[in-house]
Amino acid sequence: MEGSNTVTAAAGDATDLHRPFLEDRTVGKPPPPPDVELETVLTDTTVPYVRRVYVGAWIEMRLLFHLAVPAILVYVVNQGMSLSTRIFAGHVSGLDLAAASLGNSAFSLVYGLMLGMGSAVETLCGQAYGAQRYEMLGIYLQRSTVVLALVGLPMTLLYTFSYPILILLGEPKTVSSKSASYIAGLIPQIFAYAVNFPAQKFLQAQSVVAPSAWISGAALLLQLLLTWTAVYKLGLGLMGIASVLTLSWWVIVAAQSLYILLSHRFRDTWNGLNWRAFQGLWSFFKLSAGSAVMICLEMWYSQILVLLAGLLKNPALSLDSLSICMSISAVSFMVSVGFNAAASVRTSNELGAGNPKSAAFSTCVVTIVSLVTSIIEALAVMAARDSVSYVFTADAAVAESVSELCPYLAITIVLNGIQPVLSGVAVGCGWQAFVAYVNVGCYYFVGIPLGCVLGFAFKFDAKGIWTGMIGGTLMQTIILLYVTFRTDWDKEIDKARRRLDMWEEKKDLIVN
């Protein structure tokens, strides 16, 4: 009872600490995240350690799921938009499924590039919000949008010349020809990414995630309706599927932009268009590039598996079965990416607010929750291994191949329950460059070469390729676990303050 009273008192103290922020809300000031309560509980040595952990876990879980659940919905829906194109294509023909899968896999590099560069906004906006430097968030948002749009211009060349690129990679001509037509319809989507991801990170940094979930859900429903009409009523085939996907992304961009412009929630973090967004672009590009390399190397890793499958002795069957497994893995991965976003927001907000114990505690909680979730997903995949492929295709040979690959898929899902969360912590701390080096070493110097040796030299085919790549992911996960849980969080707070001061100084120089 005595410990309980102390915790109650601590909660009361936390409420008192929040009172100025609640008063700020009446005059339009956005309150900082509710981190004071957690830090108070974790540092109250008059309460037994176990009790502090128990109460702190409940506080953190409330904060975590408030962020993670809508973020998971956003990313799952976004992935579902791509997944639905494969489902519709698979019910048109096996060749269309292979073409859409190859197109989505080979050119998902632009998605990864834009998402990765947008994570620079996640680091800066999250830490600035925690430090109550609200006016900088709108500048970061605009500057990132300009940088991503400029980067998107050369990316259009990849889409335009997709056919010769796929042929150069050794993909079959019939599949490459179909894929090139599909990819051409996705060119306007590049610039939708350039606007969407900075806006998404801008909202997440302020713990505003539910509106994005509603917008994405509505866009998915619209896409399903329009794609069904395009395929079954208008007979537009693969080009119709691609055009509807592009349109759906622009619907998300328009709705999300209007929400930011019109909502009073952002009166202090969004002060309208500002010419300063065009200043310091090169410095911002370099920061974004580190983020992009980290995210891209992670996302491209699994897509390389699909590209290598096109070089096996039975490419159509390998592509179909692996693309189905990768589609399932991608949906599961988006759940982890939702936890990744929550981890990034919680870590950056806590570091910006100067709360080391809360940052460390949040990292532990989100990692455990994501791991448990991924284990449940892996068990569900194994239970449905013989029937899950029929969602995509009616081909019995493909279903048998998918069933054989499901154990590898389950292991990948479990590893993906840990690795993306640790990457989210890295984004919150600003470690993107370090993680990029780890990814290069583990993925591209260990995982892929080992997979090629097992798949091609030892004739284990897709299973061998996948085994090698699992080895690379396992190595990367172990390294990130070691580094994360040996972090000096007080030093990270000092780094966060210096980083914000640096960008604040750049802003002042521009003004002067």
DSSP letter for 440, please: I
320: phi then psi, degrees, rounded to nearest 5: -65, -50
d(CA 226, CA 70): 25
Cβ-proximal residues to 26 (8 Å cutoff; 6+ apart), any chain: none
d(CA 123, CA 270): 17
Structure tokens at 42: 């974790």
d(CA 289, CA 297): 12
Structure tokens at 71: 């973020």
d(CA 106, CA 104): 6
Reading the chain (512 residues) residue by residue, the pLDDT tens digits are: 443 343 333 334 443 433 333 344 334 444 434 444 788 888 888 888 888 888 888 888 888 888 888 888 887 787 778 778 878 887 777 777 777 877 776 666 777 778 778 777 777 788 788 777 877 788 888 888 888 888 888 888 888 888 888 788 777 787 788 888 888 888 888 899 889 988 988 888 888 888 888 998 999 999 999 999 988 888 787 888 888 989 999 999 999 999 998 888 888 888 877 776 677 677 777 777 777 777 777 777 777 777 777 777 777 777 778 878 887 887 788 788 888 888 888 888 888 888 898 889 999 999 999 999 999 999 999 999 988 888 877 788 888 988 999 999 999 999 988 988 888 888 788 887 788 888 889 998 999 999 999 988 888 888 888 899 899 999 999 999 999 988 999 998 898 888 777 655 555 444 43
User: ∠412-67-365 over CA atoms, to 5°?
Assistant: 60
d(CA 207, CA 303): 31
Residue 49, sorted as left (phi over 0), alpha (psi -120 to 50) or beta, turns out to be alpha
Helix (H, G, I), strand (E, B) or coil at 235: coil
Q: Residue 103: its pLDDT value, please? A: 74
Q: Residue 504: its pLDDT value, please? A: 58
Q: Residue 502: its pLDDT value, please? A: 67
The answer to whether the pTM exceeds 0.75 is: no
Q: Residue 506: its pLDDT value, please? A: 53
Give the residue among 398, 401, 396, 403 at the shortest CA–CA distance from 381: 403
DSSP secondary structure, 83-136, as one string: HHHHHHHHHH-HHHHHHHHHHHHHTTHHHHHHHHHHHHHHHHHHHHHHTT-THH
d(CA 447, CA 475): 9
Residues composing the chain: 512
DSSP letter for 31, please: P
Cβ-proximal residues to 215 (8 Å cutoff; 6+ apart), any chain: 252, 255, 256, 259
CB atoms within 10 A of CB 367: 21
User: ∠481-114-484 over CA atoms, to 5°?
Assistant: 10
